[in-house]
Amino acid sequence: MRYVTGLHAVALREPGDPTACDWHGPAYDWANVPLRESDDSRFGDWGIEQRTYTIAGMTYEWNVASHVRACLDMLEQGLVGDAQGMRENYIGNEALTPVLLEHAAMLEDSRHWSRIMRLMGREYGTAWLQALAAKDNKQ
Protein backbone atom coordinates (compact mmCIF):
# COMPACT_ATOMS: atom_id res chain seq x y z
CA MET A 1 0.00 0.00 0.00
CA ARG A 2 1.33 3.46 -0.87
CA TYR A 3 1.11 5.95 1.99
CA VAL A 4 2.19 9.34 3.30
CA THR A 5 4.89 9.18 5.95
CA GLY A 6 7.81 11.11 7.40
CA LEU A 7 7.61 14.85 7.91
CA HIS A 8 4.49 15.16 5.75
CA ALA A 9 2.63 12.66 7.97
CA VAL A 10 3.63 14.31 11.24
CA ALA A 11 2.43 17.64 9.83
CA LEU A 12 -1.11 16.23 9.59
CA ARG A 13 -3.36 16.23 12.64
CA GLU A 14 -4.50 12.78 13.70
CA PRO A 15 -8.29 12.63 14.20
CA GLY A 16 -9.26 12.02 17.81
CA ASP A 17 -5.61 11.69 18.85
CA PRO A 18 -3.96 14.12 21.24
CA THR A 19 -0.56 13.74 19.58
CA ALA A 20 1.46 16.75 18.58
CA CYS A 21 1.45 18.08 15.04
CA ASP A 22 4.44 19.60 13.26
CA TRP A 23 3.86 23.29 12.59
CA HIS A 24 6.01 23.29 9.43
CA GLY A 25 3.16 21.73 7.40
CA PRO A 26 2.07 24.86 5.51
CA ALA A 27 5.55 25.05 3.93
CA TYR A 28 5.29 21.57 2.38
CA ASP A 29 4.29 20.86 -1.22
CA TRP A 30 0.97 19.10 -0.65
CA ALA A 31 0.23 18.71 -4.36
CA ASN A 32 3.31 16.46 -4.71
CA VAL A 33 3.45 14.43 -1.51
CA PRO A 34 6.14 11.73 -1.54
CA LEU A 35 4.63 8.29 -0.97
CA ARG A 36 6.26 5.15 0.39
CA GLU A 37 5.31 1.52 -0.21
CA SER A 38 4.40 -0.36 2.99
CA ASP A 39 5.80 -3.61 1.57
CA ASP A 40 9.25 -1.96 1.66
CA SER A 41 9.14 -1.62 5.45
CA ARG A 42 9.55 -4.18 8.20
CA PHE A 43 6.44 -2.63 9.80
CA GLY A 44 4.18 -3.53 6.84
CA ASP A 45 0.74 -1.88 7.03
CA TRP A 46 0.91 -1.36 10.81
CA GLY A 47 0.01 2.20 11.87
CA ILE A 48 -1.41 3.30 8.51
CA GLU A 49 -4.99 4.55 8.04
CA GLN A 50 -6.92 6.07 5.17
CA ARG A 51 -7.84 9.68 5.93
CA THR A 52 -9.22 12.75 4.19
CA TYR A 53 -7.68 16.20 4.66
CA THR A 54 -8.49 19.63 3.31
CA ILE A 55 -5.35 21.71 2.87
CA ALA A 56 -5.38 25.18 1.33
CA GLY A 57 -8.82 24.56 -0.11
CA MET A 58 -7.91 21.24 -1.74
CA THR A 59 -9.25 17.90 -0.47
CA TYR A 60 -6.92 14.90 -0.43
CA GLU A 61 -7.60 11.28 0.44
CA TRP A 62 -4.49 9.38 1.44
CA ASN A 63 -3.27 6.39 3.36
CA VAL A 64 -1.34 8.12 6.15
CA ALA A 65 1.13 6.84 8.73
CA SER A 66 0.31 7.65 12.35
CA HIS A 67 2.79 9.98 13.99
CA VAL A 68 4.43 7.02 15.74
CA ARG A 69 4.68 5.08 12.47
CA ALA A 70 6.02 8.14 10.62
CA CYS A 71 8.77 8.58 13.23
CA LEU A 72 9.65 4.88 13.01
CA ASP A 73 9.79 5.17 9.21
CA MET A 74 12.21 8.09 9.52
CA LEU A 75 14.43 5.97 11.75
CA GLU A 76 14.21 2.97 9.45
CA GLN A 77 15.15 5.11 6.44
CA GLY A 78 18.10 6.65 8.27
CA LEU A 79 16.45 10.08 8.49
CA VAL A 80 17.46 10.28 12.14
CA GLY A 81 17.96 14.05 12.00
CA ASP A 82 14.37 14.52 10.81
CA ALA A 83 13.14 12.39 13.72
CA GLN A 84 15.03 14.47 16.30
CA GLY A 85 12.61 15.98 18.83
CA MET A 86 9.94 13.41 18.02
CA ARG A 87 8.99 12.79 21.64
CA GLU A 88 7.77 16.33 22.21
CA ASN A 89 7.34 17.81 18.73
CA TYR A 90 5.74 14.97 16.76
CA ILE A 91 4.25 12.54 19.25
CA GLY A 92 3.67 14.45 22.48
CA ASN A 93 1.77 11.60 24.13
CA GLU A 94 3.57 9.49 26.72
CA ALA A 95 0.90 6.78 26.46
CA LEU A 96 2.34 5.97 23.01
CA THR A 97 5.90 5.55 24.30
CA PRO A 98 5.79 1.77 24.96
CA VAL A 99 4.61 0.90 21.44
CA LEU A 100 7.12 3.30 19.87
CA LEU A 101 10.01 1.84 21.88
CA GLU A 102 8.97 -1.74 21.16
CA HIS A 103 8.89 -1.08 17.41
CA ALA A 104 12.09 1.01 17.41
CA ALA A 105 13.90 -1.91 19.05
CA MET A 106 12.97 -3.98 15.98
CA LEU A 107 15.45 -1.86 14.01
CA GLU A 108 18.50 -3.29 15.78
CA ASP A 109 19.77 -4.95 12.60
CA SER A 110 19.55 -1.66 10.69
CA ARG A 111 22.69 -0.14 9.23
CA HIS A 112 21.54 3.07 10.98
CA TRP A 113 21.41 1.40 14.41
CA SER A 114 24.19 3.42 16.07
CA ARG A 115 22.49 6.69 15.09
CA ILE A 116 19.09 5.33 16.14
CA MET A 117 20.56 4.28 19.51
CA ARG A 118 21.98 7.76 20.14
CA LEU A 119 18.74 9.51 19.24
CA MET A 120 16.53 7.16 21.23
CA GLY A 121 18.85 7.45 24.22
CA ARG A 122 18.59 11.25 24.10
CA GLU A 123 14.84 11.24 23.54
CA TYR A 124 13.78 8.45 25.92
CA GLY A 125 16.72 7.81 28.27
CA THR A 126 16.17 4.97 30.72
CA ALA A 127 12.86 3.95 29.12
CA TRP A 128 14.79 3.15 25.92
CA LEU A 129 17.31 1.00 27.78
CA GLN A 130 14.48 -0.83 29.54
CA ALA A 131 12.74 -1.49 26.19
CA LEU A 132 15.96 -2.99 24.80
CA ALA A 133 16.40 -5.16 27.89
CA ALA A 134 12.77 -6.34 27.66
CA LYS A 135 13.29 -7.26 23.99
CA ASP A 136 16.43 -9.24 24.87
CA ASN A 137 14.55 -11.07 27.65
CA LYS A 138 11.82 -12.15 25.20
CA GLN A 139 14.33 -13.74 22.82
Q: What is the pLDDT of residue 56?
A: 79
- Give the pLDDT confidence of 5-63 residue by residue, as tens digits: 999 999 888 776 655 565 666 678 888 898 999 999 999 999 999 999 888 788 999 99
User: Residue ranges per domain, the chain?
Assistant: 2-138
CB 62 within 8 A of CB 4: yes
* Integer angstrom CA distances of residue 8 from 33, 60, 61, 92, 127: 7, 13, 14, 17, 27
8 Cβ contact partners less than 8 Å away, ≥ 6 residues apart = 25, 28, 30, 33, 34
Global pTM reads: 0.91
- Give the pLDDT confidence of 90-120 residue by residue, as tens digits: 888 899 999 999 999 999 999 999 999 999 9
pLDDT band at 123 (very low <50, low <70, confident <90, very high): very high
pLDDT band at 139 (very low <50, low <70, confident <90, very high): low
